A and B are shown apart, each in its own frame.
Chain A
Amino acid sequence: KQEVTQIPAALSVPEGENLVLNCSFTDSAIYNLQWFRQDPGKGLTSLLLIQSSQREQTSGRLNASLDKSSGRSTLYIAASQPGDSATYLCASAAGNKLTFGGGTRVLVKP
């Protein structure tokens, strides 16, 4: 059974610092890995999707890497802004469903 872990559970940084969010998974037989953002009381917004054959994906200030052999993915957010404050979730896809980590709650202080 796939298990996805995100550490730390919470993170607080001053504005302008780079953010590094970690995601680990136990079963490397994944189809893809997806990063989401969730604001309080809202649904999930897809940020980046990395196919199993890819090593990384980039979108603006966001960069996500994938290392299947070690069972890890990392989301980097450059030059953080207060508007980046949210919970970030990673999820691995295998078969028909996503298995989610517990999320990292991020606070970017002005």
Chain B
Amino acid sequence: GAGVSQSPSNKVTEKGKDVELRCDPISGHTALYWYRQSLGQGLEFLIYFQGNSAPDKSGLPSDRFSAERTGGSVSTLTIQRTQQEDSAVYLCASSLDAREQFFGPGTRLTVL
């Protein structure tokens, strides 16, 4: 079956613009996670969705970051008024019952 997919694979934007990153989890996986990988900070947790429960947003770095998950499947991570320090690879993962996590290929975001 298909793995986790993310789009776009690369995104270049200008400082101050909003961006949306998409994640399609593995079919049937109830848990979905967003992480950020940057040179200076390594891999950091951003947000977690589990079924219909309220998401765990404890890793979001600022209120410019938000995410939603529609119909318990596809998720969108939105970054408003992007800054240069937002440049990173954004990784999405999904899992069945919050166990082993399977990662997508990531979206490389560059903010000029």
Contacts and interface: CB of A to CB of B under 8 A. Distances in A.
Interface of A: 32, 34, 36, 41-46, 49, 89, 91, 93, 95-103
Interface in B53-112: 56, 59, 91, 93, 98-106, 108
Among B4, B31, B35, max chain A CB count under 10 A is at B35
A63 to B, nearest CB: 17
Contacts of A44: 91, 93, 103
B102 A96 contact: no
A78 to B, nearest CB: 23
Q: Is chain A's binding surface mostly helix, strand, loop or mixed?
A: strand
A54 to B, nearest CB: 13
A99 B101 contact: no
Top 10 A-B residue pairs of the complex, sorted by shortest distance between their CB atoms: A100-B43, A97-B45, A44-B103, A43-B105, A96-B48, A43-B103, A49-B100, A96-B56, A43-B106, A102-B42
Among A95, A97, A98, max chain B CB count under 10 A is at A97
Interface string B20-45: 00000000000101010000001111
Nearest to A51: B99
Contact of A89 (B43, B56, B104, B108): B43
